[in-house]
Amino acid sequence: MSTETTHPGEVSLSKLLATLTATLHPSTYVFAVLADESKLPPFSEVEMLFREAKSEGITVITNREYAENHGLEYAFPCRKITLDVASSLDAVGFIAVVATRLAAAGMGVNPISGFYHDHLFVPLGREEDALKVITELSEEKKREAQA
Q: State if pTM tops 0.85.
A: yes
The pLDDT tens digits for 72-91 are 999 999 999 999 999 998 89
The 3-state DSSP composition of the chain as helix, strand, coil percent (nearest 5) reads 35, 30, 35
For the sheet with 22-34, list strands across it: 46-51, 58-63, 22-34, 75-83, 118-123, 110-113
Architecture of domain 13-146: 2-Layer Sandwich (3.30)
The pLDDT tens digits for 111-123 are 999 989 999 999 9
Q: Three-state SS for 61?
A: strand
Q: Sorting pLDDT into bands at 50, 70 and 90, what band is 6?
A: low
Task: Give the largest Cα separation in the chain, rounded.
Answer: 56
Where exactly are the structural domains of the chain?
A: 13-146
The identity of residue 114, as a single letter, is G
Give the pLDDT of residue 37. Answer: 87
